Amino acid sequence: MKRVITLLHGPNLNLLGARQPEIYGQQSLSDIEATVREQALAMGWEVVSLQSNVEGQLVDWVHQAAEESAGIIVNFGAFSHTSVALRDALHSISIPAVEVHISHIHGREDFRRRTLTAQACVACISGLGARGYEAALHHLVAIQ
C-alpha cells in the first residue's frame, strides 16, 4: 500500500496567517503543512502538499493523487462551493478524500453552507481551525 497522503489547498490559502486571521487563524499554510507532515511521519506516512489558485491545476492534482497516494485531504476554499469540475474529479478517483474547512462554514454566509465537493468525499470537517487537517489525516490513516 502507498503510504502517501496528498494535501491540496485551493485559492487564497497561500495567504493564511495574514488573510482575515479572525476567521482563518494565525497559522500560515507552511505552519499547517509542517504540523500535518510531522504527525504523518510519526505514523509512518508521507504527505505531499500542493497549493494553487487555479481550478484546472487542482483538477490535475486530484487525478495525479489517485496514482500516487492512498488518500487525499482537500481544502478547495471557495471552489468547494462552486466547482462541479472538482466534484467530478473527486468522484472519478478511487482513493478516499476528506474535505477540510478552517472556518465553520455552516455558521457563515448562506453561499458557504453548501459544498459541492464534499459530496464526493468520505468526510467533511468544518470549524476546527487548522486542527481540521490533523483530524482529516488521522481519519484517512484509520480507514486504510
Q: Clarify whether 133 is annotated catalytic.
A: no
Non-local CB neighbours of 96 within 8 Å, separated by 6+ positions: 71, 72, 121, 122, 140, 143
The three-state secondary structure class of 66 is helix
Domain CATH code at residue 94? 3.40.50.9100
Domain count, the chain: 1
- Give me the catalytic one of 9, 63, 81, 101: 101
> Can you state the angle between helices 55-68 and 84-91, rounded to 10 degrees?
10
Catalytic residue among 24, 91, 104, 106: 24
Per-residue pLDDT of the chain (144 residues; tens, 9 = 90+): 689 999 999 998 987 776 766 766 677 899 999 999 999 999 999 999 999 999 999 999 999 999 999 999 999 999 999 999 999 999 999 999 999 998 777 766 676 667 999 999 999 999 999 999 999 999 999 999
pTM: 0.91
Q: Is 104 a catalytic residue?
A: no
Domain that holds residue 80: 4-142
